[in-house]
Structure 1
Amino acid sequence: MQDPNPTTSTNVPLFSVIIPTCDRNEMLALCLERLDPTVQQYDPNRYEVIVTDNGTKRPAEGLIQERFPWVTWVRGPGGGAAANRNRGAIEARGEWLVFTDDDCQPDTGLLRAYDAAVRTIQADAMEGAVHPIGDPDLDMAECPINLHGGLFWSANVAVRAAMFHRLGGFNPRYPPAGHEDEDLYLRLREHTPVPFIADARINHPIRIFNVGSAVSRIPLRAQSTGLYYSLNARRLGIRRFTTLVRWIYKPRLMALLKDLVRGRPRSAFIELLWVLYGNVLVLRCWFRETRQLSREAVA
């Protein structure tokens, strides 16, 4: 499965780092500064950086031309983050695709750690650590933390390009960023182990959302969740409707209780909305997608 001696050609990089972005130039600049060849503790001939840009108000092309000329800028396809990442993968020349996000701050040893793993571990996909910057226990704080593996957050994952394209990449049907990485993870696990590389580290700032923004995101996130459970029912072992109900309600109720105990009233309010409204949308989407899949199977 794994070539123990990955290519060392200076014409073909080992890693293609792919960063989807959309109108977040300040965050993107901080991310790219950490991937600069003078900052990364890794041979600059062994990697490339590709930014795929869905921005319409503030495209990042000018920023990259002025400050980061070593980065390849590509106009994104529109849609969501999944399609944007796939666009970058099409342009990539590397044997491995390393995905991160524009609001992440890669550790200076990120690529060196992945390189060491590629040389010693038999796998076609890996996930790295995502550490929070700030206090994740603040009210309305959000951050994709991954300290022990088994999550495959797209903020820090690496997939062999051949395997990525074989599986069709991220599923672009997921509307916002959410569950498309977990969907790919389940498909990858059918073909390869996915080890956790603790030294391949990304730092992710804590984001504090206001209530209005959190409420407005519920419908699209519910749609993504329903799609995820319908497409992956077999992989997840969901054979009964009651199993799905338990899976989506139990963590929300536990999160609601945790927020109340820790004095996070706004976060508790959002969890309550998910219990009363968001999960209903999840079940509606799951029913709709499941019926469609059944019709397609019969046809």
Structure 2
Amino acid sequence: MASDIHEADGPVDVSVVVPARNEADYLRGTLASLAGLDTDYEYEVLVVDGDSSDATPAIAREYGATVLEGPGTSIAAGRNYGARRASGDWLAFVDADTRVRADYLTELLGYAEATGLAAASSRCRIAGPRRAKIMEATINYVFPRLERPILPGFNLLVHRSAFEDAGGFPDVPNEDTAFSRRLGRRYPTGYCPEVLVESSGRRIEAQGLTGTLVHYLRLDRERLRASRARRGGA
């Protein structure tokens, strides 16, 4: 029997937005993990259904999540739609194949507040073949060291005001990378060093994160070279 997701007793601290289209095979695990959160923060869970033809909406209701009929055009559109309907001061974006650990909100939001960040992600575990483990290492040890850290859309906490100021997720390929770079130009962002989520590696290659990483590493390397050249010429 499914455990109902926690219902906030008062003002909502965090709105967890889960975009989902035909995710019946994965969504139960995600929602069960959200129902099992151990936190003093008040939170709500919004599942944005992208015109699913399977049991996705029924499963979301089974777990007590709020189901929103989203546009179904892209994951960026789904996330943005959920954000518009959310009531929390903070927005947590989690994909339908991502499971959070019981201390997810306590650790990630606590870290963001303690360090003055407008947005944060955390280290993760990614299930799958060797390529997925390479991507896991990249997210955990390379993304945080970029001048503007890339915050993966499957594990992203951001203050509502910063999210709105940055214009939400752009409807482009690698929307989370584009959003991270735009947000990082205006606000401090970073990574909690704890492993707080576990996710499927099924979309890593399709999302093109590796190619995007190479592109931004090249840009950051050129930035560092230019900075050293300026110091050397001073």
Length-normalised TM-score, structure 2 = 0.75
Q: CA deviation at 1:10?
A: 4.4
Residue identity in the other structure for 2:38: Q
Counterpart secondary structure, 1:19 = strand
Where structure 2 has 5 or more consecutive residues not aligned to the other structure, the ranges are 1-7, 223-234
Counterpart in 2 of 1:147?
140
How many residues of Structure 1 are paired with residues of Structure 2 in the alignment? 202
Greater relative contact order (Cα 8 A, min sep 6): structure 1 or 2?
2
1:201 aligns with 2:201: no
Query: Equivalent residues in 2 for 1:1-299 (5 A)?
Result: 10-36=9-35, 39-43=36-40, 46-58=42-54, 60-65=56-61, 67-69=62-64, 71-134=65-128, 136-137=129-130, 145=136, 146-148=139-141, 149=144, 150-172=149-171, 174=172, 178-199=173-194, 201-207=196-202, 236=219
Distance 1:208 1:115 in 2: 26
Deviation of 1:167 (Å): 1.4
C-alpha displacement of 1:143:
8.0
SS of residue matched to 1:64: helix
Question: Is the alpha carbon distance of 1:154 and 1:192 closer, same or farther for their aligned partners in structure 2, counting shifts above 3 Å?
Answer: same
Distance 1:75 1:160 in 2: 24
Identity %: 24
Greater mean alpha carbon deviation, residues 156-165 or residues 114-123: 114-123
Q: What is the CA-CA distance between 1:169 and the residue it aligns to? A: 0.1
Gaps of 5+ in 1: 1-8, 240-299
SS of aligned partner of 1:195? strand
2:80 alignment partner AA: N
Are the counterparts in 2 of residues 155 and 202 from structure 1 also a CA contact under 8 Å?
Answer: no
Across the aligned residues of Structure 1 and Structure 2, the Cα RMSD in angstroms comes to 3.0
In structure 2, relative to structure 1, the CA distance for the partners of 1:143 and 1:52 (3 Å cut) is farther
Structure 1 CA distance for aligned equivalents of residues 81 and 195 of structure 2: 24
**What are the superposed Cα offsets for residues 203-224 of structure 1, whole Å, 9 maximum, x if unpaired?**
0133399xxxx8xx6xx96xx9
Aligned to 1:105, what secondary structure does the other structure show? strand
SS in 2 for 1:152: coil
Richer in strand (by share): 2
Paired AA for residue 137 in structure 1:
R
User: Residues of 2 paired with 1:94 and 1:115: CA distance?
Assistant: 13
Distance 1:200 1:158 in 2: 14
Rg larger in structure: 1
Q: Following the alignment from structure 1 to structure 2, what is the Cα–Cα distance between the partners of residues 107 and 24?
A: 20
Tell me, what secondary structure is at the counterpart of 2:76? helix
For 1:98 and 1:80, the matched residues in 2 are separated by 18
2:52 is paired with a residue whose SS is coil
Q: TM-score normalised to the size of structure 1?
A: 0.60
The Cα shift of 1:59 comes to 5.2
Q: In the alignment, is the contact (CA less than 8 A) between 1:77 and 1:84 conserved in 2? A: yes
SS in 2 for 1:131: strand
Q: Distance in 2 between matches of 1:199 and 1:12?
A: 27
- 1:198 CA displacement: 2.1
Give the whole-Å Cα distance in 2 for the aligned partners of 1:55 and 1:27. Answer: 16
After TM superposition, which residue ranges in structure 1, 4 or more long, deviate above 6 angstroms? none
**C-alpha offsets along residues 59-109 of structure 1, whole Å, 9 cap, x if unaligned?**
5222222x212x111011121100110000001111111111001111111
Could you say if the C-alpha distance between residues 11 and 119 of structure 1 is closer, same or farther in structure 2, counting changes exceeding 3 Å? same
